[in-house]
Amino acid sequence: MPKRRPAARKTAKRSRTASKVPGISRIDQPSTRTFGWFVRYGYRPTSKGTRPKFTAFFGDATHGGKAKAMKAAMKWLKQVSKTGRPTKRK
List, for residues 26-45, the tens digit of each pLDDT value: 999 999 999 999 999 998 89
Strands 49-59 and 24-29: unpaired
Amino acid 79: pLDDT = 93
Element (H, E) at 29: strand 24-29
Say if residue 11's pLDDT is above 60.
Answer: yes
Q: Side by side, which strands form the sheet with 24-29?
A: 24-29, 34-46, 49-59
The model carries a pTM of: 0.72
Amino acid 8: pLDDT = 65
Q: What is the rounded average pLDDT of the residues 58-87?
A: 93
Amino acid 85: pLDDT = 83
8-state DSSP, 32 = G
- Top-confidence residue, 38 or 19: 38
